């Protein structure tokens, strides 16, 4: 059993390292924006196209990745998609122009999109059912650390090796991890030679290794998933909270702090770090405590959504610097809630369906937060533009209150979605 425990943690280390790169790549353009502008003579629109190509391809491949995780297995999916990500990073680092850089960035997005969902599928095969939320939470924490690494550590890499050299290093690292995945990762304990009898008593492999019924078509899989009410409630909840949180964190938080509270750019940047810090802490804390204490996931989700909704309501009325300590506390709460609710949402989604549908189901729900952000960012930008003043990029307190009201309503809707979840643990057996 010692060999079994050691082996599955080796697998987790490999997959976790790949997910670290997923989130590092997600926010990496912030550090090299000026370098890209100088290298490709690119304006703001072109820079936006280069950066956003990651998100569109990442979201687009999720359903395919989920289906392949169920049918081809996690090992092949992670290996092949990690090769694509490595190729994309190498193309990006050697790009002679903006078009090639966009292609490279898009390939990175498509490639790293094949890590998280097959990782969850792998966990369902190798770990106990009551460990799933904990493992998912730890993965989310690793992703948060990857996002933090895309700030100061990546800046030092760029200073030492140049932006091209930094991304070539990331590409080679991805390639090495892809090879490690092929050599060490196994879809199920059975593939490693451990018997199904041992699996029954020690971990959830016995359920995770179930195969789909004969002649189960793609249409049948989709019909089961899309016909499940609870699946829609979880997915809609992720859409509204993800759209609001990612838009605020990635676009409006720093301008909001500067315009409303008079923060300097540096002070606002320090305050902003509370969001990813809370996100990284919330994932494992919520997941581990929920698993260890056998807490009701729906109740925990409702509590987190309720606290966040109340936080946005408080933020709606705050202004001026004396209240900045309250804003700092709310930023931390928003991060903790966002990171903590994700493993619970994925665990509930897993429990709704039999193991042979788990990857497909998560693949269909996972893009919802990113699609939400893709819609929220231009819509909230339009909302703020209606209140633009004489100085470009500077907005009034009234403008930000309208913005926060949108986020408040979004979290309230998400709370209602979770409230409507049924109390059944599994829809299908």
Which tens digits make up the pLDDT trace of 176-217?
A: 999 999 999 988 888 877 754 344 334 333 344 556 676 677
> Residue 108 has which token pair?
């990175």
Task: Lowest mean pLDDT of 19-23, 61-65, 210-214, 270-274, name the range.
Answer: 210-214
Q: Place 94 in a pLDDT band, splitting at 50, 70 and 90.
A: very high
Q: Place 130 in a pLDDT band, splitting at 50, 70 and 90.
A: confident
Exposure on the CB side of residue 192, measured as CA atoms within 13 A: 23
pLDDT of 133 over the 50 cut? yes
Cα–Cα distance measured from residue 50 to residue 428, given in angstroms and rounded to the nearest whole number: 42
Please check whether residue 305 is in contact with residue 341, taking contact to mean a CB–CB distance below 8 angstroms. yes
Cα 381–Cα 100–Cα 162 angle in degrees, nearest 5: 85
Residue range 158-171: mean pLDDT, rounded = 93
Q: What is the pLDDT of residue 2?
A: 61
Burial of 288 (0-12, 13-18, 19+ CB in 10 A): middle
Beta-carbon contacts of 160 under 8 Å, excluding residues fewer than 6 positions away, are none
Residue range 38-64: mean pLDDT, rounded = 82
CA-wise closest residue to 370 among 138, 116, 150, 77: 116
| Phi, psi dihedrals of residue 19, rounded to the nearest 5° | -70, -30
Q: What is the mean pLDDT of the chain?
A: 83
CA-wise closest residue to 185 among 284, 69, 288, 291: 69
Between 94 and 384, name the one with better pLDDT.
94
Share of the chain above pLDDT 70, in %: 89
Q: What is the pLDDT of residue 201?
A: 39
Residue range 1-6: mean pLDDT, rounded = 73
Please check whether residue 243 is in contact with residue 98, taking contact to mean a CB–CB distance below 8 angstroms. no
Please check whether residue 130 is in contact with residue 347, taking contact to mean a CB–CB distance below 8 angstroms. no
Q: Residue 41: left if φ>0, alpha if ψ -120 to 50, beta else—which one?
A: left
pLDDT of 164 over the 80 cut? yes
Share of the chain above pLDDT 90, in %: 34
Exposure on the CB side of residue 46, measured as CA atoms within 13 A: 15
Beta-carbon contacts of 376 under 8 Å, excluding residues fewer than 6 positions away, are 243, 244, 246, 247, 406
| Residue-range domain boundaries for the chain | 2-209, 220-419
Between 70 and 312, name the one with better pLDDT.
312
Q: What does the chain come to in residues?
A: 429
Cα–Cα distance measured from residue 115 to residue 81, given in angstroms and rounded to the nearest whole number: 7
Please check whether residue 120 is in contact with residue 350, taking contact to mean a CB–CB distance below 8 angstroms. yes
Cα–Cα distance measured from residue 419 to residue 429, given in angstroms and rounded to the nearest whole number: 24
Q: What is the pLDDT of residue 93?
A: 95
Q: What is the pLDDT of residue 193?
A: 77
Encode 59-93: b = buried (16+ Cβ within 10 Å), e = exposed: bbbbbbbbbbbbbebbbbbbbbbbbbbbbbbbbbb
Kindly report the CATH class assigned to 2-209. mainly alpha
DSSP secondary structure string, 179-241?
HHHHHH--SSHHHHT--HHHHHHHSTHHHHTPPPPTT--HHHHHHHHHT-HHHHHHHHHHHHH
Cα–Cα distance measured from residue 143 to residue 283, given in angstroms and rounded to the nearest whole number: 10
- For 276, other C-beta atoms within 10 Å of its C-beta total 23
Cα–Cα distance measured from residue 40 to residue 19, given in angstroms and rounded to the nearest whole number: 29
Please check whether residue 365 is in contact with residue 238, taking contact to mean a CB–CB distance below 8 angstroms. yes
Q: Place 14 in a pLDDT band, splitting at 50, 70 and 90.
A: very high
- pLDDT tens readout for residues 317-352: 887 666 788 889 999 999 999 888 888 888 888 888
Same fold, 2-209 and 220-419: yes
Please check whether residue 231 is in contact with residue 225, taking contact to mean a CB–CB distance below 8 angstroms. yes
Q: Tell me which CATH code domain 220-419 carries.
A: 1.20.1250.20
Residue range 24-34: mean pLDDT, rounded = 78
Q: What is the pLDDT of residue 174?
A: 95
CA-wise closest residue to 415 among 309, 286, 296: 309
Between 396 and 183, name the one with better pLDDT.
183
CA-wise closest residue to 316 among 415, 411, 413: 411
Cα–Cα distance measured from residue 116 to residue 387, given in angstroms and rounded to the nearest whole number: 39
- No. of helices (H) and no. of strands (E), the chain: 21, 0
| Phi, psi dihedrals of residue 395, rounded to the nearest 5° | -125, 160
């Amino acid at each position: 059993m010692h060999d079994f425990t050691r082996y599955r943690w080796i697998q987790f280390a490999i997959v976790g390292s790949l997910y670290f790169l997923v989130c590092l790549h997600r926010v990496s353009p912030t550090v090299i924006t000026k370098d890209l502008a100088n290298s490709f003579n690119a304006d703001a629109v072109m820079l936006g196209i280069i950066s956003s190509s990651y998100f569109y391809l990442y979201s687009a491949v999720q359903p395919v990745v989920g289906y392949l995780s169920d049918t081809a297995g996690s090992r092949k999916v992670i290996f092949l998609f990690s090769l694509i990500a490595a190729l994309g990073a190498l193309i990006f680092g050697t790009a002679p122009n903006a078009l090639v850089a966009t292609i490279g960035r898009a390939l990175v997005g498509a490639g790293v999109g094949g890590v998280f969902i097959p990782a969850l599928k792998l966990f369902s095969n190798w770990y106990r059912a009551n460990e799933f939320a904990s493992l998912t939470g730890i993965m989310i924490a690793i992703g948060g650390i990857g996002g933090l690494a895309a700030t100061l550590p990546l800046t030092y890499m760029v200073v030492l090796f140049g932006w091209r050299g930094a991304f070539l290093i990331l590409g080679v690292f991805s390639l090495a991890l892809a090879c490690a995945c092929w050599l060490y990762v196994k879809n199920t304990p059975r593939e490693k030679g451990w018997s199904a009898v041992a699996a029954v008593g020690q971990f959830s492999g016995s359920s995770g290794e179930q195969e789909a019924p004969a002649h189960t078509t793609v249409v049948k899989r989709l019909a089961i998933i899309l016909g499940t009410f609870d699946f829609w409630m979880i997915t809609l909840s992720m859409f509204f909270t993800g759209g609001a949180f990612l838009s605020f964190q990635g676009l409006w938080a720093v301008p909001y702090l500067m315009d409303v509270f008079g923060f300097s750019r540096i002070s606002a940047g320090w305050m902003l770090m509370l969001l990813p810090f809370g996100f990284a802490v919330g994932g494992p804390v919520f997941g581990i405590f929920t698993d260890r204490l056998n807490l009701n996931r729906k109740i925990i989700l409702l509590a987190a959504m309720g606290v966040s909704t109340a936080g946005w309501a408080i933020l709606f009325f705050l202004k001026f610097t004396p209240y900045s300590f309250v804003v700092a506390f709310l930023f931390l709460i928003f991060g903790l809630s966002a990171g903590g609710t994700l493993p619970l949402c994925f665990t509930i989604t897993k429990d709704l369906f039999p193991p042979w549908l788990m990857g497909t189901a998560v693949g269909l729900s996972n893009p919802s937060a990113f699609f939400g952000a893709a819609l929220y960012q231009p819509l909230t930008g339009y909302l703020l533009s209606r209140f633009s003043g004489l100085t470009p990029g500077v907005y009034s307190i009234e403008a930000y209150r309208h913005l926060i009201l949108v986020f408040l309503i979004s979290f309230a809707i998400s709370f209602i979605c979770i409230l409507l979840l049924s109390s059944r643990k599994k829809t299908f057996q």
